[in-house]
């Protein structure tokens, strides 16, 4: 056993030297956990920001002017007064995301208690911005009318108090930054391990391994620990330096616990990369197979869309993916400060899925080595 562990260690060190000699992969690793995390977190926002608003003010009253002045930056650009005849043409041209139509005698009807109607036209091309922005505008109009006409404000039978836990400012960058690191772990784990095997085959060094006193299991284990180590170090540095310090995203839970869960996750996802590499014969084929696998794991793991919104059959199928359980435990640890007593079901699922992937990958890898020999 000691000799086997020593061989795995030496083979893993060889993998690290091979990775260092490949500048493209080194640049990819650095970019993925630095620039990619920062740019996506600061650029891909779900909040309404700098939305263009048109105002059709047919009342020209103090109340309508108050509503217009309440649409402030950074949520909205300065509102632009337009005529009702311009609405369709302006929205078709994409000039405005929202158009607020204030009818004639709006203030007079509001004072008289006749419940006038304001129409909000929304460009729902960008659904999240449209939905959130429409909610903002409705809230702003309601507040301004209630402040200007307190006698007409109806008293709600129930007072609703909302508390936002774990992200009190509802800042999407807090979510996007952490999920970008999690998704990049999956991306690089599959690419690095698969590329390592394809590189051996394309460079002809796979034959050298066959004549060495090593087993296919040892070769695969060396590739897994070497590439997994690189990813764990890069992800930890990205989480602490880019996410926590540069982007000022608070990490609620234990980073060492997250790192330990990441190591367990990499055991399964790196085996998946080797499994895909045994099917492909060239780097081009490997890339074509990897793309749909990564897209499915990225979109359906719960990191971009909630699992609850998926059909029941699809949600059950995604339970077989290790990324689904890793995203769940990463969110629990890093957002909600969960401990081992909460995330142990996800850890157990990762262990079972990882063992299945590793066994299947080892079987395929052994057959691939025998075919190459």
pLDDT, one tens digit per residue, over 151-209 is: 765 555 556 677 787 888 878 888 899 999 999 999 999 999 988 888 877 776 766 76
Cβ burial 71-99 (10 Å sphere, 16+ → b, else e): beeebbbebeebeeebbeebbeeeebbbb
Q: What is the pLDDT of residue 115?
A: 86
Is the pLDDT reported for residue 239 higher than 80?
A: yes
DSSP-derived letter for residue 51 is B
Q: What is the pLDDT of residue 370?
A: 65
Range of the domain at 268: 2-44+171-372
Structure tokens at 28: 């990819």
Q: How far is CA 15 from the centre of its chain?
A: 30
The domain that contains 82 carries what CATH number?
3.40.1710.10
Same domain, 135 and 242: no
**What gap in Å lies between CA 194 and CA 223, rounded to an integer?**
9
Q: What is the pLDDT of residue 121?
A: 93
Total-model pTM: 0.82
**Percent of the chain beyond pLDDT 70?**
94
Where is the domain boundary, 105, 124, 152?
152
pLDDT tens for residues 323-372?
A: 999 999 999 999 999 999 999 999 999 999 999 998 998 888 877 766 65
Same domain, 189 and 126: no
Residue 313 φ/ψ, nearest 5 degrees = -65, -35
- Residue 317 domain flag: yes
Same domain, 280 and 210: yes
- Residue 362 domain flag: yes
pLDDT tens for residues 318-335?
A: 999 999 999 999 999 999
Same domain, 77 and 195: no
Average pLDDT over residues 131-151: 87
Same domain, 32 and 60: no
End-to-end Cα separation, the chain, in angstroms: 26
- Residue 141 domain flag: yes
- Reported as a pLDDT band with limits 50, 70 and 90, residue 373 is low
Is the pLDDT reported for residue 22 higher than 80?
A: yes
Same domain, 263 and 333: yes
Where is the domain boundary, 84, 118, 152?
152
Burial class for 131, CB neighbours closer than 10 Å (0-12, 13-18, 19+): middle
Q: What is the pLDDT of residue 199?
A: 80
Same domain, 176 and 319: yes
Same domain, 303 and 353: yes
- Residue 164 domain flag: no
Is the pLDDT reported for residue 80 higher than 80?
A: yes
**What gap in Å lies between CA 347 and CA 261, rounded to an integer?**
7
Kindly report the average pLDDT of the chain as a whole number. Answer: 88
For the chain, what is the domain count? Answer: 2
Same domain, 188 and 303: yes
Q: How far is CA 37 from the centre of its chain?
A: 10
Same domain, 92 and 36: no
- Residue 306 domain flag: yes
Contact 270, 196 (CB under 8 A): no
- Reported as a pLDDT band with limits 50, 70 and 90, residue 42 is confident
- Residue 157 domain flag: no
- Residue 162 domain flag: no
Where is the domain boundary, 125, 152, 179?
152
**What gap in Å lies between CA 228 and CA 237, rounded to an integer?**
14
Same domain, 308 and 368: yes
Residue 316: partners with Cβ closer than 8 Å, 6 or more residues away: none
Same domain, 186 and 214: yes
Distance (Å) of CA 215 to CA 37, 137, 224, 356:
38, 66, 14, 19
- Residue 163 domain flag: no
């Amino acid at each position: 056993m000691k000799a086997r562990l020593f061989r795995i260690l030496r083979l893993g060190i060889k993998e690290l030297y091979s990775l260092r000699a490949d500048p493209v992969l080194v640049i990819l690793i650095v970019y993925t956990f630095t620039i990619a995390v920062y740019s996506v977190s600061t650029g891909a926002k779900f909040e309404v920001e700098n939305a263009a608003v048109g105002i059709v003010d047919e009342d020209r009253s103090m109340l309508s002017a108050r509503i217009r002045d309440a649409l402030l930056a950074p949520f909205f650009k300065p509102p632009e007064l337009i005529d009702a005849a311009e609405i369709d043409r302006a929205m078709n041209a994409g000039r405005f995301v929202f158009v607020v139509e204030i009818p004639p005698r709006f203030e007079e009807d509001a004072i008289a208690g006749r419940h006038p109607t304001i129409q909000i036209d929304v460009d729902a091309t960008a659904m999240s911005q449209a939905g959130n922005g429409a909610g903002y505008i409705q809230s702003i109009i309601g507040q301004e009318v209630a402040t200007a006409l307190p006698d007409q404000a109806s008293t709600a039978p129930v007072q609703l108090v909302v508390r936002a836990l774990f992200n009190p400012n509802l800042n999407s960058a807090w979510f996007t930054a952490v999920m970008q690191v999690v998704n990049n772990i999956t991306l690089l784990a599959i690419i690095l391990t698969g590329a390592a095997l394809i590189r051996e085959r394309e460079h002809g060094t796979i034959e050298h391994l066959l004549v060495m006193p090593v087993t296919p299991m040892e070769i695969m284990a060396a590739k897994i620990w070497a590439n997994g180590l690189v990813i764990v170090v890069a992800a930890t540095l990205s989480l602490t330096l880019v996410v926590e310090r540069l982007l000022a995203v608070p990490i609620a839970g234990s980073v060492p616990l997250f790192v330990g869960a990441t190591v367990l996750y990499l055991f399964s996802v790196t085996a998946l990369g080797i499994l895909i590499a045994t099917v492909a014969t060239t780097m081009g084929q490997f890339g074509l197979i990897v793309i749909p696998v990564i897209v499915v794991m990225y979109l359906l793991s719960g990191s971009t869309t909630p699992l609850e919104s998926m059909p029941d059959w699809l949600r059950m199928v995604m339970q077989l993916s290790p990324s689904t359980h890793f995203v769940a435990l990463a969110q629990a640890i890093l957002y909600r400060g969960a401990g081992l007593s909460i995330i142990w079901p996800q850890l157990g699922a990762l262990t079972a899925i990882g063992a299945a992937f590793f066994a299947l990958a080892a079987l395929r890898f052994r057959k691939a080595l025998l075919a190459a020999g």
